[in-house]
Amino acid sequence: MANTILVGAQWGDEGKGKIIDVLTERADIVVRTQGGNNAGHTVYIGPQKYVLHLVPSGILRPGKTCVIGNGVVIDPVSLMGEINGLIKLGVNINGSLFVSETAHVVFPYHRELDELRELRKGKNKIGTTKRGIGPAYGDKAARTGLRIIDLIHPERFAAKLKVRIKDNNEVLRAFGAKGLSYKKVHDAYRAAGDALKPYVRNTVTLLHEATQRKANILFEGAQGTFLDIDHGTYPFVTSSNTTAGGASTGSGVAPNRMDKVVGVMKAYTTRVGEGPLPTENEEIADMLHGMGREFGSTTGRARRCGWFDAVATRHATMVNGIDELAVTNIDGLDSLETIKVCTGYRCGDLKYDHVPNDIESFSNCVPVYEELPGWQTPTTGITSWKKLPQKTRAYLKVICDLTGAKLTIASVGPAREQTIFV
Ligand code: IMP
């Protein structure tokens, strides 16, 4: 399989969890490289549903090594909750999971500030997951963050946390909020730090050794291309590099060790949170929500839905270097008579065949659509490319050609068996 980077080609929630799980079969190591517990990867194995927020989805396949890399921001209390939940479900974690000592720590003041800043923004809010992700990456960039290596050294941690709590309490009070108790935060985090210690490693050297023995590494992306801090619809983005480059900086595995980029995209488009979504459409949203689909796995929020946006996915191919595509949720379109695909944008007199950098222009873009016939046949039980309706194959060919990469996986349902290798 070689070293493969998996990215979301849209606004997150592309169904990456399932594709990661499928690709993990051929991987030795699975690495998470950015984001925090704002992510939610859902994997179904038989009747059991697993929702993973920080632990790489590879943990669900015995014998695989999973790494939480330096680029991730970790709420250790939440991570320990997730680990204990997995252990209860019979998943083996010991010796399988390693956590980077240089990953940054998310604290309760990050969560509080996330919420307070959103409130203050009012109608201009980002619609964050309120997990403290932005403020934690803010501290990292401002060089005021604490890292996992600090968390597992009690004295160092106590001294640094004291200063951070004092500073942040001043900020919280300026917002009109209550300050946090140093002792409460300290005790909860130290307990989590002790529990986490056996998993903590220098993951850069661990991964370097793995590349030297030619292990196959899968870099699992969280969120999606248009939530990238540099390449997304800023400021309506998350605070990390969700695009392929983030896999290198977030793991310490050099770019010239990467072999392939797989982009995951839904057969339509969804987004949670605020910000532009040119192909947003109420009818398709009602249809999908009516089917019980498209509710966020982290916050439970109903996702905004729209037609497939090929301008966006083509842009994603450009910034990620996508070689292969996995298209998910094809069955979500099974009942439609006609399906629209956005092939360009119009903004006043201007025509765009790429995503404009100016958020104002992007917000005012009107999609130009091509219409394709729907297949109006259930696809959920289909297990081979040849057995897919001809109209489904034609639709997939059009969206992958427009995106500019090769279709290799078509997914017609959440289960492992509902995966068609093309
Ligand atoms: P934050 O990452 O919580 O700061 O949220 C910033 C934006 O990214 C918001 O619009 C969120 O809804 C979105 N977001 C963050 N994580 C995910 C995810 O895993 N899936 C989809 N959207 C996400």
For residues 288 and 405, membership in a common domain is answered with: yes
Percentage of residues in the chain with pLDDT exceeding 70? 100
Residue pair 277/307 in contact (Cβ under 8 Å)? The answer is no
β-strand pairing of 217-220 with 269-271: unpaired
Average pLDDT of every residue of the chain: 96
Tell me: do 187 and 206 sit in the same domain. no
Query: What is the structure's pLDDT at 324?
Result: 98
Neighbours of 358 (CB within 10 A): 9
Which residues lie closer than 8 Å to 55 by C-beta, 6 or more apart?
32, 66, 68, 79, 82, 83, 86, 93, 97
* Together in a domain, 375 and 397: yes
Assess whether 257 and 395 both reside in one domain: no
Among 272, 274, 277, 294, which is best to mutate for testing ligand 1, by the most ligand atoms less than 8 A from CB? 272
Place of tokens 């490693």: 201
What value does the CA radius of gyration of the chain take, rounded to a whole number of Å? 21
Q: Catalytic residue at 153?
A: no
Residue type for 152, please? I
Whether 230 and 270 map to the same domain: the answer is: no
Query: Using an 8 Å Cβ cutoff, are 13 and 303 in contact?
Result: yes
Assign residue 155 the CATH number of its domain: 1.10.300.10
**Residue 37 Cβ < 6 Å to ligand 1:** no
Clarify whether residues 216 and 111 are in a common domain: no
Active-site hit among 13, 21, 75, 334? 13
Query: 10: domain range?
Result: 4-99+200-262
For residues 250 and 291, state if they share a domain.
Answer: no
Q: Tell me which of 48-62, 134-148, 166-180, 209-223 is least confident.
A: 48-62
Indicate whether 317 and 412 sit together in one domain: yes
Last residue of a domain, one of 222, 245, 262: 262
Residues 82, 84, 87, 89: is their CA dihedral positive or negative?
negative
Active-site pick, 21, 41, 104, 114? 41
Helix (H, G, I), strand (E, B) or coil at 295: strand
129 lines ligand 1 (CB under 6 A): yes
Examine the domain organization and report whether 176 and 126 are in the same domain.
yes
Model confidence over 221-269: pLDDT tens digits?
A: 999 999 999 999 999 999 999 999 999 999 999 999 999 999 999 999 9
pLDDT digits (tens, 9 = 90+) for 68-126: 999 999 999 999 999 999 999 999 998 999 999 999 999 999 999 999 999 999 999 99
* 1 pLDDT tier (thresholds 50, 70, 90): low
Ligand 1 closest atom vs CA 298: 19
How confident is residue 173, by pLDDT bands cut at 50, 70 and 90? Answer: very high
Encoded amino acid at 197, one letter: K
Report the alpha-carbon distance of residue 209 to residue 121 in Å, rounded. Answer: 46
Are residues 397 and 284 part of one domain? yes
Q: Are residues 56 and 9 in the same domain?
A: yes
13 is catalytic: yes
Q: Are residues 152 and 192 in the same domain?
A: yes
Of the candidates 248, 252, 226, the one whose C-alpha atom is nearest the C-alpha of residue 237 is 226
Residue with CA closest to ligand 1 atom 10: 273
Whole-model pTM: value is 0.96
Q: Quote the CA–CA distance of 219 and 229 in Å, as a whole number.
A: 19
Q: What is each CA distance from 329 to 15, 58, 389, in whole angstroms?
A: 8, 21, 15
Q: Residue 164: phi, psi to the nearest 5?
A: -65, -40
CATH of the domain at 374: 3.90.170.10
Supply the CATH number for residue 226's domain: 3.40.440.10
Last residue of a domain, one of 262, 278, 303: 262
Residues 394 and 372 sit within 8 Å (Cβ to Cβ): yes
Confirm or reject: Cβ of 113 under 6 Å from ligand 1.
Answer: no
The pLDDT confidence band at residue 166, using thresholds 50, 70 and 90, is very high
pLDDT value at position 44? 85
Chosen domain end from 262, 279, 307: 262
The Å distance, Cα 1 to ligand 1 centre, comes to 30
238 ligand 1 Cβ < 6 A: yes
| Residue 45: CB atoms within 10 Å | 13
Q: Find, among 253, 321, 250, 325, the residue nearest to 56 by Cα.
A: 250
Look at residue 296 in the predicted model and tell me its pLDDT. Answer: 85
Rounded mean pLDDT of 308-320?
98
Domains in the chain, number = 3
Ligand 1: which residue has its CA nearest to atom 9? Answer: 128
